[in-house]
């Protein structure tokens, strides 16, 4: 026979059961001095306690998992009654033999021998049912949380994997443009890309990274963008506070910056992109402002919004009640303001 259901891999629970039953079997000893016919009393008492223990685990380990939990209520009730009848019959037969040993002192009462197990058995039924049902409830809740956690991890991994190829696609296009122009900045761009790749392959595997590394990653991305755009585009990246004292989910901020360069850069007119990151106390504020270039919006492909959709979903999963994302467009200015409160 294997471990009792509900007690697998929990030796502490097994010992709790053992100690409780040992204490229960000591009860007759408390009455040995005051009970008349103490020999009969102890024999019948311990036997009744043994039957109670059997009925407890008969319900706890067999009936509840096989009949009650699968909602076979009728069969469950029938099996409970059959178990009670068997216990009563066994107790009557045993009591008859014990009273035969002491019949010169204590006459045998068949009705009492048959009905006496009813109360201990009902108590065993109530306790075993309550304990097992409570254990099943907490086990189900724990399994639900584990499944939710696994689902969350899988979904975050999927979303992160979508961010990386989208980002690399744009960067490789930038380097290809430099190579076609035979620009002296091609080598520098490849070095920057290698630094970005190192961050993506090593640090982004962790659940969180130091905000300072994320800032360095953004700076490398901005530097790569500077290589391909004209001097007419003014780019300002300001960092305030102490980013080295904060941690953040990796690759969380890049979609906002990427989106600003995609829709806010013009090769004909002046443009400006302003990026501000403030890291004070337990709060992060990240603001990206760019002018909307209509031709860029109109020429966007169908997958252009995948980065923003992913980052919104990641924010909902990672910081469900601790973030605020405000996206607004007014006077041809597109602004994203993200605030995250980090709980200690």
Q: What single string gives the DSSP state of each residue in 191-249? A: HHHHHHHHHHHHGGGSS-EEHHHHHHHHHHHHHHHHHHS-TTEEEEEEEEE-GGG-EE-
Judge contact between 275 and 237, C-beta under 8 A: yes
200 pLDDT above the threshold of 70: yes
62 vs 159 pLDDT, higher one: 62
Indicate whether 246 pLDDT > 90. yes
pLDDT for the residue 102: 45
Structure tokens at 163: 């961010």
List the single range of 14-18, 101-105, 161-165, 180-184 with lowest mean pLDDT: 101-105
Of the candidates 56, 44, 160, the one whose C-alpha atom is nearest the C-alpha of residue 92 is 44
φ/ψ of 10, rounded to 5, equals -135, 75
Q: Which residue has the higher pLDDT, 30 or 185?
A: 185
- pLDDT per residue over 128-166, tens digit each? 888 888 888 888 888 777 767 766 665 666 666 555 565
Measured CA to CA, the distance from residue 131 to residue 141 in angstroms comes to 15
Q: Cα separation of 101 and 35, whole Å?
A: 18
Measured torsion, CA atoms of residues 137, 140, 142, 146, in degrees rounded to the nearest 10 = -170
Domains in the chain: ranges and CATH: 11-116 (no CATH), 147-341 (3.30.565.10)
Q: Answer whether residue 326 shows pLDDT above 70.
A: yes
Q: What rounded mean pLDDT belongs to the chain?
A: 77
Q: What is the pLDDT of residue 288?
A: 96
pLDDT at 137: 86
Confidence at 308, pLDDT banded by 50, 70, 90: confident
The neighbour count for residue 251, using CB atoms within 10 Å, is: 23
Give 317 or 162, the one with higher predicted confidence. 317
**Quick one: pLDDT band at residue 22, thresholds 50, 70, 90?**
low
The long-range contacts involving 79-85, CB below 8 angstroms and separated by at least 24 positions, are 80/125, 83/55, 83/58, 83/59, 83/121, 84/55, 84/117, 84/118, 84/121
Give the pLDDT of residue 35. Answer: 47
- List the one residue out of 60, 21, 48 whose CA is nearest residue 117: 48
Q: Which long-range contacts (CB under 8 A, 24 or more apart) does 328-332 make?
A: 329/292, 332/291, 332/292
* Distances 4 to 14, 24, 52, 70, 142 between C-alpha atoms, Å: 9, 19, 17, 18, 19
Whether the per-residue pLDDT at 67 is higher than 90: the answer is no
pLDDT higher than threshold 80 for residue 274:
yes
**Residue 258 confidence (pLDDT):** 85
Give tens-digit pLDDT for 288-304.
Answer: 999 887 655 544 444 44
pLDDT of residue 39: 62
CB 227 within 8 A of CB 261: no
Q: Pick the residue with more confidence: 45 or 279?
A: 279
Structural element, H or E, at residue 152: helix 118-180
Q: What is the pTM of this model?
A: 0.56
């Amino acid at each position: 026979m294997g471990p009792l259901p509900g007690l697998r891999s929990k030796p502490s629970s097994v010992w709790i059961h053992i100690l409780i039953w040992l204490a229960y079997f000591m009860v007759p000893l408390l009455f040995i001095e005051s009970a008349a016919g103490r020999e009969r009393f102890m024999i019948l008492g311990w036997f009744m306690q043994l039957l109670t223990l059997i009925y407890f685990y008969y319900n706890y380990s067999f009936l509840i998992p096989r009949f009650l939990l699968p909602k076979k209520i009728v069969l469950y009730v029938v099996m409970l009654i059959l178990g009670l009848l068997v216990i009563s019959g066994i107790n009557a037969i045993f009591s008859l033999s014990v009273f035969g040993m002491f019949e010169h002192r204590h006459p045998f009462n068949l009705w009492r021998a048959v009905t006496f197990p009813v109360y201990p058995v009902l108590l065993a039924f109530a306790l075993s049912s309550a304990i097992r049902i409570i254990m099943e409830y907490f086990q189900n809740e724990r399994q639900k949380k584990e499944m939710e956690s696994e689902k969350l991890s899988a979904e975050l991994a999927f979303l992160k994997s979508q961010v990386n190829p989208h980002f690399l696609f744009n960067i490789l296009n930038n380097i290809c443009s430099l190579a076609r122009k035979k620009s002296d900045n091609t080598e520098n761009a490849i070095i920057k890309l290698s630094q970005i790749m190192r961050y993506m392959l090593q640090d982004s595997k962790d659940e969180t990274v130091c905000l300072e590394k994320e800032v360095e990653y953004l700076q490398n991305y901005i530097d790569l963008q500077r290589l391909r755009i004209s001097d007419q585009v003014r780019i300002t990246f300001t960092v305030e506070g102490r980013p080295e004292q904060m941690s953040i989910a990796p690759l969380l901020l890049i979609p906002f910056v990427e989106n600003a360069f995609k829709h806010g850069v013009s090769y004909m007119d002046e443009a400006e992109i302003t990026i501000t990151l403030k890291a004070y106390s337990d709060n992060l504020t990240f603001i990206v402002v760019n002018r909307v270039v209509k031709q860029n919006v109109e020429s966007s492909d169908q997958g252009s919004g995948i980065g923003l959709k992913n980052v919104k979903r990641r924010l909902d999963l990672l910081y469900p009640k601790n973030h605020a994302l405000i996206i607004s467009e007014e006077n041809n200015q597109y602004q994203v303001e993200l605030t995250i409160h980090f709980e200690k």
